[in-house]
Structure formats: structure tokens, C-alpha cells
Amino acid sequence: MSTRREQILPEVPSLTSLYGQAVARSARLMVRRPGPIVARLPEISYRVDDVRVDRAQLAAYQHLLGEAGTDTLPAGYVHVLGFPVAVAVMAREDFPLPLMGMVHVANQVQQRHPVHADDVLTVRAWAQNLRAHRSGTQVDLVTEVGQADGLDVLWRGVSSYLAKGKPLKGLALVESADGARPARADGRDADAPLPAVTASWRLGASTGRRYADVSGDRNPIHLSGLSAKLFGFKRAIAHGMYTASRALATVGPARPDAFVWDVEFLKPVLLPGQVAINLTPAEGATSYLGWDPRSQAVHFAGSVRPLP
């Protein structure tokens, strides 16, 4: 959308302070009902220049996720770098959906070129594609990361969020006309039997806190059972991107230099907990699936495939 205005932020904002603002805003909205919310996204994109990699944080990220300790940034780490800029868009007063109530439902990353730890990066983020969903309103946050001295986008992420509840007025319901469900992100039919277990993750109660330490994402729903209860979860839940990034690390170097990494989050992983994992390679791509070994409920599904 060419009408989008670019605003330069002096630095990558702090997620903790953005969450703080968002919580305060939600509290304000509870006390004082605003007028009707306009179903329109802010026509703005945020840009931050001179973004540099904190090498100690990168090492801690690589160790936690099981990525190789090289100078090439894991695609999930680039997400961590750019995520606060996208959150800043969602934390704006004129953003039509409540930041704290949104659920991350899907994520697609295009890793077009490897990003090196010495690269000085520019991050851009904006919101697009506000749409009605049968259980609420959905929106895509786009983040692009490139080298400061080049126009080429090295990495592009699209994070889809769902604000549950009544859809905002005036939005088209984006669903296939015949009502058929779209294929799951791992390419399997949702009714297909679960595949064989190729890995098993035992996620301790501290999983959310440990990922918060390396990602800076201290959303209270991930930190402890108590803080998660305040936001309506029975227990703390694992960061969706932790599970997807760990799946990506398990796919490992089989991924080519340029690839598409997809994930669909279906059911939160409660902590502590165990997740059954399947990896299936097929013609240069690898699909992955994570589910609860007891209830058999699928937590997430995705794939890593060469960039077309």
C-alpha cells in the first residue's frame, strides 16, 4: 500500500515497556468504553536503522534453541530482532485490536539470503490485511529486515494474529466459498492420523522464562502460571515462536540458504509439558508437526522448504 507513511524510530523499542503500555491501555478501556472502533489499520510503517546483533544474546539464543553456534543468524533469531518493531505498531493508540488479547495463529518467514552477525540491519514493520475470521478479527504484521546499505530484503516475516470475539464491523470474512478447510501448514489433512514420533520435547516450567531471556519477549502469559492466569490461561504457555524455532533448529542445516519457514499454531503448549514431534523430509522440504502425546491434540504444524 503506497499510502503508508514511514516513521523512523531511534531504536528498537523495549517489548517490556510496550507490554506495560498495552496493559495500561486495556485497563483504561475497561473503565471507559471508547466510541465505536474503526476497522482500519494505521497507515504507517515503522523503520529502525543501525540494528546490530548482541553477540552474547545470539549465543544464548543458539544454545537454548539448539542452533549451530555460527555467525549466521538463525531465521528465528531475526524474528526476535524485528519483533519489537512490529509490536510497536500493534501498541499504537490507533491500532484497532487489543495487543494483549491477540493470539499468534500463524507465521511465515522468507529467508531470502543469510543474515550475518556483523550485518548492520534496517528493520521495517507494518500491519496489513485486517480481516474478519469466524471467531474474531485477524491481522498480519509484516516485518522486513535488510542490510542498511542495500535495498534488498534479506528476511521477511508475516505474523498473523487473531483477536477473539466479535469481528470488527465492515470487514470481509476471508474463508473459502465452499467452506472447505485450507490444508494445514504441514501439508497434511487435519483428519489424517498422527505420524510417527521422531523427537520428543520435555519442556520444563521455566521454558517460557528461558525463551523470554533470549528473546526479550516477557509477555506474562509465558512467564508463570500465576501471570498466565491473569490473561485467562490455565498455566503458562510456551512462546509459539519458541516451538517453531526449535522445530526449525531440528530441521537444521538441511534447510537451504534461502527458504520459506511456515508455522500454524493450533493449540497452545502448556508448561511444563511434553510435545511429540514428527519431521518428514520430502523433496528438499521438511514438514514438522507437534502434538500432545496424551490428548493427541495438535499444537503446531509447519514446513521448511526452499524459497521458490
Interface residues toward other proteins, by CB under 8 A? 55-56, 59-60, 62-63, 67-72, 117-118, 252-254
**Dist CA 246 CA 242 (whole Å):** 6
Q: Tell which residue, 115, 116, 142, has the closest CA to residue 128.
A: 142
Give the nearest distance from C-beta 214 to other proteins in angstroms: 12
Give the nearest distance from C-beta 55 to other proteins in angstroms: 6
Q: Tell which residue, 210, 110, 190, has the closest CA to residue 154.
A: 110
Give the nearest distance from C-beta 277 to other proteins in angstroms: 16
Give the nearest distance from C-beta 202 to other proteins in angstroms: 16
> Which C-beta is closer to other proteins: that of 66 or that of 150?
66
**Dist CA 231 CA 220 (whole Å):** 8
> Which C-beta is closer to other proteins: that of 60 or that of 105?
60
E strands along 54-113, which residues? 102-111
> Which C-beta is closer to other proteins: that of 182 or that of 253?
253
**Dist CA 264 CA 249 (whole Å):** 17
> Which C-beta is closer to other proteins: that of 160 or that of 286?
286
Give the nearest distance from C-beta 79 to other proteins in angstroms: 20
> Which C-beta is closer to other proteins: that of 65 or that of 130?
65
Q: Tell which residue, 229, 92, 222, 76, has the closest CA to residue 145.
A: 76
End-to-end CA distance of the chain: 24
Give the nearest distance from C-beta 43 to other proteins in angstroms: 39
C-alpha cell at 299: 499444537
Q: Which residues contact 262 (CB under 8 A, 6 or more apart)?
A: 106, 107, 108, 109, 185, 302, 303, 304, 305
Report in angstroms the alpha-carbon separations of 145 from 9, 25, 55, 86, 229: 15, 29, 18, 12, 35
> Which C-beta is closer to other proteins: that of 137 or that of 215?
215
